[in-house]
Amino acid sequence: MNIRSRAHGEEGAAAVEFALIVGVLAMLIFGMLQFGLAFFQLQNLRAATREGARVGAVDGTAQNMRDRVQNASGLPSSAPLGSSVYLKTRIGTGSPVTFAGAATDKPCDPATGTPPDSVIAGIDLRTAPAGIQNIFTVDIPFLPSIDLRSAVVEGEFRCEI
C-alpha cells in the first residue's frame, strides 16, 4: 500500500471535525454576545440611577428624579420604568429609608426637618416591565439560564443643599 492511496481515505476529515466543533463554537459566540448586551444594559441602568440621584441631590423633586432615570436609561418611552423606580434617603451611615414624599417633594429639602445626608435612586428589575426583564435573562442552549434580574441597580449622591 503506497502513501498516495492512504491519503485519499482522509479527504473529508477536516470537514467532519469542523461540523462537530461549529455547534459548540456558535453556542459560545452567541452566549457571549447575549451576556455582553445584558451587561451593557445593566451598566446603562446603573448610570441612569446615578443621574437620578444627582438630580435629587441638587434640589430636584421626586418626579424630576424619576424622569431623569427614565430619560438617562436609554430605554424607549414605550418601555416606561414606572413603579420599578424607587427613591430612598440615608442619614449618616444608617440604613436607607424609602422616600415616601409626593412627586413635588424634594428629598434633600432642609425645610422638611432633618435633611438626609444622601439620596438614592434605584430600579427594581424584578418589577420592571416584561420587555426589560427579558434583557436580563441570558439563555444559552444546553446551559441553565443566567438571571441578572437580582442585580442591584442603585445610584447614591450626597445632598448638596
Quote the mean pLDDT of the chain. 87
Taking the CA atoms of the chain, what radius of gyration do you get in angstroms? Answer: 25
- List pLDDT tens digits, range 84-127: 999 999 998 889 999 988 889 999 888 877 789 999 999 999 88
- Taken in order 40, 43, 47, 52, the sign of the CA dihedral is positive
The answer, yes or no, to whether residue 1 has pLDDT greater than 60, is no
Position of cell 450626597? 158
pLDDT of residue 6: 57
Number of domains, the chain = 1
Element (H, E) at 49: helix 13-57
The pTM score is 0.81
pLDDT of residue 161: 67
- List pLDDT tens digits, range 131-154: 888 888 888 777 888 888 888 899
C-alpha to C-alpha distances, 68 to 39, 60, 97, 141, nearest whole angstrom: 21, 10, 21, 37
- List pLDDT tens digits, range 21-50: 998 899 889 889 988 998 999 999 999 999
**Structural domain span for residue 39:** 3-158
Separation CA 61–CA 77 (nearest Å): 20
